[in-house]
Structure 1
Amino acid sequence: MSSEPARFDRGHTDDLMTFLAASPSPYHAVANAGERLEKAGFRQVEETAAWDGTSGGKYVIRGGAIIAWYVPEGASAHTPFRIVGAHTDSPNLRVKPRPDMGAQGWRQVAVELYGGTLLNTWLDRDLGLAGRLTLRDGSHRLVNIDRPVLRVPQLAVHLDRQVNEGLKLDRQRHMQPIWGLGDVHEGDLISFVADEAGVDAEDVAGWDLMVHAVEPPTYLGRDRELVAGPRMDNLISVHAGVAALTAVSARPDLEFIPVLAAFDHEENGSESDTGAHGPLLGTVLERSVFARGGGYEDKARAFAGTICLSSDTGHAVHPNYSERHDPTHHPRANGGPILKVNVNQRYATDGSGRAVFAAACEKAGVPWQTFVSNNDMPCGTTIGPITAARHGIATVDIGVAILSMHSARELCGADDPFLLANALVAFLEG
């Protein structure tokens, strides 16, 4: 991947689908990102260890978040950063602290709804379980049961004759999956998951488990010009960010320090130690400055020259609901990445940011589009405004246009992930 004009590479999208399938939870996403960074010569550093100011690639993993950066040879303490921001989490169903429940001879799993889940897309779908187990010694064990284990059954049309006039789902009563028959015994689910993870259930002290659809990502359409798959919001951006960071780390003449910041908990407000509203990014950037011999003045200078591209998915124009979109802004699949604008700062883009993004796309030979919400429709938000306000960093909101956002399976153009990655390369190069 380089700053030459982008030519569509199906290999990038093939690799994206591999990444999506292997990352059913934020913990798997950051582990997979870390493996890719290691292959590119990056090394993991611990937050509790002393950091040095040597050049090269480094990364930190905390829970479901990863911050990675590359310090070029000769970088000063006040060298600015170029940041690609993203998030690792997606709306889904998450296992409750006491998961074993049931009724009428059915064994069920108690789940809590995470983020703005599109509920009906989880009905009558084959579901697996993934996440992490916390052991009594404080270590973690990732687990991915990637086969049909659970299902949220919908009520038959014969018992709800008005269902096609408007489906109404009770979040507590109607969204608990079944996973078998028989009597309910406390501890059954965690014993099953622990066995799948190869650990003793008695050693499990806690868990962060979630449900995922087990159908693999796939190309779609007569000409395979579309991709359907899970967790595109926002693993498309995480995958593109890793690809771009590893690509530019081979450059000998970088004038900025390229950074990937992939946070957790964006889908429920980013208020956590691994979310964009927490101190993780600022702490990592500050420690990088200090490790290179800098002080407060160097940090202030570096942050003043820093720019962040907050990369998250946006809405492609929907052919069946085009009236829900702004009439003059209709982002299309395979039309290139989108610049996201909202004057009420739901997105952080301003005119200066538009110029930065346009320059990166022009350098990469990538087409781009603009997204603005219909004035009658509430506008979502991203990590962009949070990053700008939390750290005083100039931020621009961008992404890939998709359909079925927050569904168990989303849809995008097969070219767009590659075009996004090329734009990110050009941006990180400066």
Structure 2
Amino acid sequence: MTDKAKVQQLLDFIDASPSPWHAVVTMEQALLSASFTRLSETQSWQLDPGGRYYVVRDDSSIIAFVVGDKSLPESGYKIIGAHTDSPGLRIKPHALHQSGEMLRMGVEVYGGPILATFTDRDLSFAGRVSYRSEAGEIETQLVRFEESLLRLPNLAIHMNRMVNEEGLKLNKQTELPLLFAMSSKEQMPDQLFSELLVSQCQLLAEQVMSWELNVYDTQKGAFWGAQQEFYTDSQLDNLASCHAGLSALLDETALQSGNTLVCAFFDHEEVGSESTKGADGSFLPDTLERIALARSLKTEDYKRALAKSFMLSVDMAHAYQPNFPVAYESEHKVYVNKGPVIKLNANQRYSSESVSEAMFMSWCQEANVPFQKYSHRTDIPCGSTIGPMTSAKLGIRSVDVGNAMWAMHSIRESAGVLDHAYMIAVMQCFFKDQK
């Protein structure tokens, strides 16, 4: 498969995944097609050597794994971690409200998006609905509106003369509500929204109890550049890493390696990961322990397995943008289409250290893939990832890596075509490693 074809698969994956809940379903479909079996956290697990399994927690976090036939205490777990959520806007519980002759959709900021990029886009919403079934149980159902329903029009320059000099500044409470419709005397806002929601869910209005809805850009991903060497889409941070990890896991040579392979994709990274389904929760430790228990390992052997384990914490990195040279550490600029980026920070904002860094470099060399090293400007606060908290919680060695991209946290991000294939190749080497 060509590098461009692999990116096209990524764009198709993102376009099918307008919310974390949809992303998990899209990955679940790929796993089922590869003969993986779904497990439930509420049931006993019977795991076979060579077996392929996955488990979902609360619809938006998923862990897929292959039970290796090698001794777990001697070989450990080989883990790839990423996150399913992206920064953006979430719809408030009382969604619609009237303002003059218009109906506006109230939204809350999720994480740290570049808010100005949400203006003048063809927006809609998707997510999950919680409802009471005919049997009286609380169940969930995904919902997605394909058509453009929402918009955040810019204020004309005639009324905001300094916008080009000072940048667009939006008050999160008063200037972010999205335009939805002309107001109607025949329908109250809550009634209109309820009818809209149930039209997609095929439920009765009285069944719907609550919802979690994500605003998304309806424009599909695309290639660009003189040689079509770049691509753009929403949610590259971090669905691109999820797709790369899943692609590596489903590689047949990795599946036959004999290693115990794990892909853990968490929700809530963009808001701190401190939740039942976040990387700072119990989902991954619980799953790893249950794999060990299903293989009849004692506690000491499980701890030995953790000590032999390694994790790739994969999240996107900041590519050099030549229009803003002073934003970057001059000796640590990284570029798109130049290979995976190893992220380094002395204050442990990343989990990388010299040994894990060297190990990742060796896998890159084995895969014949170039690599780069990134360090943030010392006078600008550095972001973080799931790497430090996960490696600390489990006591396993970890390295923070990712592909370089532009416009991180914009509603429209860009990256290089070559890098996606590079990352998949390194991940495959990691999964197949026999050391």
TM beyond 0.5? yes
* 1:77 Cα offset (Å): 6.1
For residues 253 and 232 of structure 1, what CA distance do their matches in structure 2 show? 29
* 1:251 Cα offset (Å): 4.1
Output one character per residue of 1:325-379: Cα deviation in whole Å (capped at 9) or x when no partner.
Answer: 1111111110011000001000010000111111111111111111110111111
For residues 146 and 396 of structure 1, what CA distance do their matches in structure 2 show? 38
> What is the match of residue 354 of structure 1?
357
* 1:43 Cα offset (Å): 0.8
For structure 2, which runs of at least 5 residues remain unmatched after alignment?
none
> What is the match of residue 60 of structure 2?
64
For residues 19 and 288 of structure 2, what CA distance do their matches in structure 1 show? 26
Q: Does 1:326 align with 2:329?
A: yes
For residues 161 and 251 of structure 1, what CA distance do their matches in structure 2 show? 59
> What is the match of residue 234 of structure 1?
238
* 1:78 Cα offset (Å): 5.9
For residues 380 and 68 of structure 1, what CA distance do their matches in structure 2 show? 27
* 1:201 Cα offset (Å): 2.1
For residues 189 and 163 of structure 1, what CA distance do their matches in structure 2 show? 34
For residues 248 and 294 of structure 1, what CA distance do their matches in structure 2 show? 27
**1:175-324 superposed matches below 5 A:** 175-183=176-184, 184-248=188-252, 251-254=255-258, 256-324=259-327
> What is the match of residue 151 of structure 2?
151
> What is the match of residue 117 of structure 1?
113
> What is the match of residue 87 of structure 2?
91
Task: Letter of the 1:298 partner, please give it.
Answer: D
Q: SS where residue 187 of structure 1 aligns?
A: helix
Q: Contact 1:70/1:249 (CA < 8 Å) preserved in 2?
A: no
* 1:248 Cα offset (Å): 4.9
For residues 72 and 394 of structure 2, what CA distance do their matches in structure 1 show? 20
* 1:75 Cα offset (Å): 4.3
Q: Contact 2:342/2:371 (CA < 8 Å) preserved in 1?
A: yes
- CA shift in 2, pair 1:157/1:72, >3 Å: same
- CA shift in 2, pair 1:51/1:223, >3 Å: same
> What is the match of residue 124 of structure 2?
128
Q: Percent identity?
A: 38
**1:343-422 superposed matches below 5 A:** 343-422=346-425
For residues 316 and 140 of structure 1, what CA distance do their matches in structure 2 show? 39
Q: With structure 2 as the length reference, what TM-score do the two structures score?
A: 0.95
For residues 61 and 242 of structure 2, what CA distance do their matches in structure 1 show? 11
Output one character per residue of 1:14-51: Cα deviation in whole Å (capped at 9) or x when no partner.
Answer: 10010010000000111111111111111110000100
> What is the match of residue 172 of structure 1?
173
Q: Contact 1:195/1:201 (CA < 8 Å) preserved in 2?
A: no
* 1:11 Cα offset (Å): 1.4
Task: Letter of the 1:180 partner, please give it.
Answer: A
For residues 389 and 140 of structure 1, what CA distance do their matches in structure 2 show? 33
Output one character per residue of 1:238-274: Cα deviation in whole Å (capped at 9) or x when no partner.
Answer: 00111001115664342x3110000000001001111
Task: Letter of the 1:293 partner, please give it.
Answer: S
CA RMSD of aligned residues (A): 1.4
For residues 97 and 186 of structure 1, what CA distance do their matches in structure 2 show? 10
Q: SS where residue 370 of structure 1 aligns?
A: strand
Q: SS where residue 415 of structure 1 aligns?
A: helix
2:47 to 26, 48, 53: 53
- CA shift in 2, pair 1:223/1:81, >3 Å: same
